[in-house]
Amino acid sequence: MEQAAVVDLTAVVVAVTQDQPRVLVTPGQGRASAADRRMARAELGSAALDALPSGPLEHRHRTLEAGLRAWVEAQTGTRLDYVEQLYTFGDRDRMSSGPGRSRVLSIGYLALAQEAGSALAGDALWHDWYRYFPWEDWRRGRPAVLDRVEKPLRRWAGAGDTRAERTARKERAIVAFGLDGTAWSDERVLERYELLYEIGLVAEARRDGLAGEGRAVDALQEGQPMAADHRRILATAIARLRGKIKYRPVVFELMPAGFTLLQLQRAVEALAGVRLHKQNFRRLVEQQGLVEETGHIITATGGRPAREVRFREEVVLERLAPGLRLPIARASE
Partner DNA sequence: CCTCGTAATGCTCAAAATGAGTATAGGAGA
Partner DNA sequence: TCTCCTATACTCATTTTGAGCATTACGAGG
Establish if 70 lies at the interface with a copy of itself (CB under 8 A). no
Please state the closest distance from residue 41 (CB atom) to a copy of itself, in A.
Answer: 25
In sign, the C-alpha dihedral spanning 92, 7, 9, 50 is negative
Site string for DNA, 245-284 (x = CB under 7 A): ---------------xxx--------------xxxx-xxx
Span between the terminal Cα atoms of the chain, in Å: 42
What are the residues whose beta carbons fall under 8 Å from the beta carbon of 327, sequence distance 6 or more? none
Please state the closest distance from residue 6 (CB atom) to a copy of itself, in A.
Answer: 5
Please state the closest distance from residue 195 (CB atom) to a copy of itself, in A.
Answer: 14
Single residue of 45, 214, 295, 327 touching a copy of itself by CB under 8 A = 327
Residues 243-262 within binding reach of a copy of itself (CB under 8 A): 245-249, 251
Q: Which amino acid is at 168?
A: A
The strands making up 125-128's β-sheet, listed across from edge to edge, are 50-51, 20-27, 125-128
Q: Which amino acid is at 12?
A: V
Please state the closest distance from residue 46 (CB atom) to a copy of itself, in A.
Answer: 28
Residues 104-123 within binding reach of a copy of itself (CB under 8 A): 105, 107
Site string for DNA, 295-324 (x = CB under 7 A): ----x-xxxxxxx-----------------
Establish if 186 lies at the interface with a copy of itself (CB under 8 A). yes
Establish if 102 lies at the interface with a copy of itself (CB under 8 A). yes
Phi, psi of 276 (to 5 degrees): -120, 160
Establish if 59 lies at the interface with DNA (CB under 7 A). no
Q: Which option in DNA, a copy of itself, none does residue 304 bind, with CB closer than 5 to 8 A by kind?
A: DNA
Single residue of 17, 73, 103, 127 touching a copy of itself by CB under 8 A = 103
The overall longest dimension of the chain from CA atoms, in Å, is 69
How many chain residues touch a copy of itself (CB under 8 A)?
72
Strand 82-89, strand 104-112: pairing? antiparallel
| Residue placing its CB nearer to a copy of itself in the complex, 48 or 290 | 290
Q: Which residues pair with 315 in a beta bridge?
A: none
| Residue placing its CB nearer to a copy of itself in the complex, 123 or 138 | 138
Q: Which option in DNA, a copy of itself, none does residue 161 bind, with CB closer than 5 to 8 A by kind?
A: none
* DSSP secondary structure string for all residues of 209-269: --TTT-PPPPS---S--BSTTHHHHHHHHHHHHHHHTTTS--GGGGS-SSB-HHHHHHHHH
Q: Which residues pair with 26 in a beta bridge?
A: 51
Instruction: State the burial class of residue 247 (Cβ atoms within 10 Å of its Cβ: 0-12, 13-18, 19+).
Output: exposed
Report the interface residues with DNA, using CB under 7 A. Answer: 260-262, 277-280, 282-284, 287, 299, 301-307, 325-326, 328-330
